[in-house]
Structure 1
Amino acid sequence: MLIYSGCRVGEYRHIRKADVKLRRRVIVIRHSKTDAGAGRLIPIPRKLMPWYEEAMQTPGLYICGRADGSRHSYDSFRRAIFDPVMHHFGMSHTPHECRHTLASMLDSADVNRTVIKLILGHSLEGVTERVYTHKSIRELLRAIDKICT
């Protein structure tokens, strides 16, 4: 999920189920370390919809919750969820590397730079990108589905 969302771990840990819009296939990020990250919409790849549908049925308010319904701290997320997956596959990566992976995959798929920035929650520097360029949810979904087939 981290690879195909581009979420920071802090953002991921704060995703409430109410912010997952399955019909629209987007997640609303309300908690972010940057202004550009907060309030953005992250497209959900069609291929990951079954995982999100299942996650929405688990107890608790958060997508990344515990059995008691509370959310993980960064350290408990890493120890309980991320590191065991890495160990299972014989890999050694950090959660932040998932953002790098998504950025690289989108770039390799020739996705528009503005779309990449919007998905990752990076600021749009230029006046053209910031004021005049608008991207639709459909464009974000097309981009994420392009790399998650």
Structure 2
Amino acid sequence: AKILISNLLDYCPVLNITPRQVAKNLYVPTKKAKAKSVFTNEELSRLWEADPSIYSRAILIMIYSGMRIGELFQLRPEQVHLDDRYLVGGEKTEAGRDRTIPIRQEIVPLLADFLDNKGGSNTTASFTARVGGYLDAIGMDHTSHEARHTFISFAIQSQIPLPTIQQIVGHASGSVTTSVYTHIPTRELIKAVDSISFVW
């Protein structure tokens, strides 16, 4: 929009609409991004106690696994190994794709139910909008990405080593050594998520 307005205003002196170019000093304030916040203990309790819905389950799965909403929505049953408590999935970055994501015991039934009942949305965008609408409806001022942010915050608070967190959530490391040579076995990833305390 700024470019269009600037171009129109630049042409105004030619048509004698304005005596000079007024677009040179055109300033468009940028919208400040909302700081990410984590789900509180009370909000976690409310989500666990809420009437079971595909959206409450999705939020809890993301909080307790660190998955992105697109990763969860696109998950296929053949990627999930509930008995062994891990799945293979991911998206967005090279570090995020086809990674092993450990599953905490308490979300195993939620994930099974989610996979059986995730119909109703055709795209990640529509599913994201529905999750956002659910959060608004229950009075929680959060985005779906803040569920993932909550997982990372709890993992850091629980002193999970950074390379382990990065492998679980699919963040590329700043270090070539860490990103290329670190591969943490699935059993260690499961032990790591089991040791996270989800209490502030």
Normalised by the length of structure 2, the TM-score is 0.61
Please tell me the root mean square deviation across aligned C-alpha atoms, in Å.
2.1
**Greater relative CO (CA pairs within 8 A, separation 6+):** 1
2:127 to 77, 80, 88: 77
Separation (CA, whole Å) in 1 of partners of 2:184 and 2:136: 34
Q: Is 1:93 matched up with 2:142?
A: yes
CA gap of 1:46–1:52, structure 2 versus 1, over 3 A, is same
Match of 2:40 in 1: none
Equivalent position SS for 2:83: coil
Deviation of 1:126 (Å): 2.1
* Partner of residue 62, structure 1: none
Query: Quick check: 2:158–2:197 contact (8 Å CA) kept in 1?
Result: no
What corresponds to 1:143 in structure 2? 192
Is the 2:96–2:169 contact (alpha carbons within 8 Å) kept by the matching residues of 1?
yes
CA distance in 2, matches of 1:7, 1:105: 14
Deviation, 1:53, is 2.9
1:48 aligns with 2:107: yes
Q: Secondary structure at the match of 1:147?
A: coil
Pick which of 35-44 and 117-126 moved more. Answer: 117-126
- Give the whole-Å Cα distance in 1 for the aligned partners of 2:195 and 2:104: 9
Q: Across the two proteins, how many residue pairs are aligned to each other?
A: 138
TM value normalised by structure 1: 0.80
Cα-to-partner distance string for 1:103-148 (whole Å, 9 max, x where unaligned): 1100000001111000110113324323443311111111211226
For residue 41 of structure 1, give the secondary structure of its aligned residue in structure 2.
strand
Conserved? CA contact 1:19–1:28, under 8 Å: yes
5+ residue gaps, structure 1: 60-64
Q: Is this contact kept in 2: 1:4–1:148, CA < 8 A? A: no
Helix, strand or coil at the partner of 1:37? coil
* In 2: Cα distance, 1:23 partner to 1:55 partner: 16
1:13 and 1:72 in contact (8 A); partners too: no
Give 1:116's aligned residue. Answer: 165
Match for residue 66 of structure 1? Answer: 119
Residues 39 and 22 of structure 1: is their aligned pair in 2 closer, same or farther, counting only changes over 3 Å?
same
In structure 2, stretches of 5+ residues that fail to align are 1-60
